[in-house]
Amino acid sequence: MRKLKLQVVTSVDGFIAGPNGEMDWVTHDWDDDLKSYVEGLTASVDCIVLGRRLAEGFIPHWAAVAADPEHPERESGRLFTDLPKVVFTHTLETSPWPNTALATGDLAEAILRLKKETGGDLIAYGGGTFVSSLTQRGLIDEFHLLVNPVALGSGMAIFPERARLRLEAARAFPCGVALLRYGRA
């Protein structure tokens, strides 16, 4: 069965965005070690799952990066553009993006169906509401938390309730970001 992995940036105190959705605290100057880790994480992935709100920025951003021959992240842009995507939505009836299917029904049923399909792993990128729904339903198999060296005090959390996890790896990167990789307990 395919795994659902989550890759998300967090603050030290566990928030993925500030109280008003701010992301100005995120470390963007990743070192080569962190970039290599993320490349390895996505190597087994053949489908991206996203919530609609994140998809509206994520998909066009990476398509623009892929199209820019001078962009330093062009290869990542190509990967994210070429991989099939499933966007979970209650508002869209047709996909405005190429290589992207819509899932409009029950989240858990759709994720479990995707997990049972043949292929590589799935990866989710957060928006808070979407990721909270995944965690609340116990659908994520691996949590790859990229902890940034900042405490926000309040903000958007991805764990709407208590969740027991099992630490599988921890690693500090020269840029100041720490990886905490968890599985479900």
> Phi and psi for 117 in degrees, rounded to 5?
-70, 155
**Radius of gyration (Cα) for the chain, nearest Å?**
16
Q: Specify the pLDDT at position 82.
A: 95
On the question of pLDDT at 184 being above 80, the answer is: yes
pLDDT of residue 162: 87
**What's residue 161's pLDDT?**
84
- Give the pLDDT band (50/70/90) at residue 185: confident
DSSP helix/strand/coil, 135: helix
Q: Residue 78 above 90 pLDDT?
A: yes
**Helices 107-116 and 128-136, axial angle in degrees (round to 10):** 70
Q: What's the pLDDT score for residue 4?
A: 98
DSSP symbol at 16: E
What residues are paired with 146 via a beta bridge? 9, 179
Number of compact structural domains in the chain: 1
For the chain, helix (H) and strand (E) counts, in that order, are 5, 10
Instruction: State in Å, rounded, how far the first CA of the chain is from the last one.
Output: 18
pLDDT band at 65 (very low <50, low <70, confident <90, very high): very high
pTM of the full structure: 0.93
CATH of residue 85: 3.40.430.10
Extract the tokens encoding 37.
């880790």
Burial annotation 48-57 (CB, 10 A radius, 16+ → b, else e): bbbbbbbbbe
- What the block records as the tokens of 82 is 């070429």
Which pLDDT belongs to residue 173?
A: 97
Q: Between β-strands 121-125 and 45-51, what pairing exists: parallel, antiparallel or unpaired?
A: parallel
Model confidence at 127: pLDDT above 90: no
pLDDT over 80 at 126, yes or no: no
Distance between CA atoms of residues 159 and 23, nearest Å:
18
Name which of 10, 54, 1 is nearest 144 in CA terms: 10
d(CA 35, CA 53): 25
pLDDT in tens, 42-60: 999 999 999 999 999 999 9
The helix/strand/coil state of 136 is: helix
Q: Enumerate residues 6+ apart whose C-beta is below 8 A from 96.
A: none
Domain that holds residue 148: 4-184
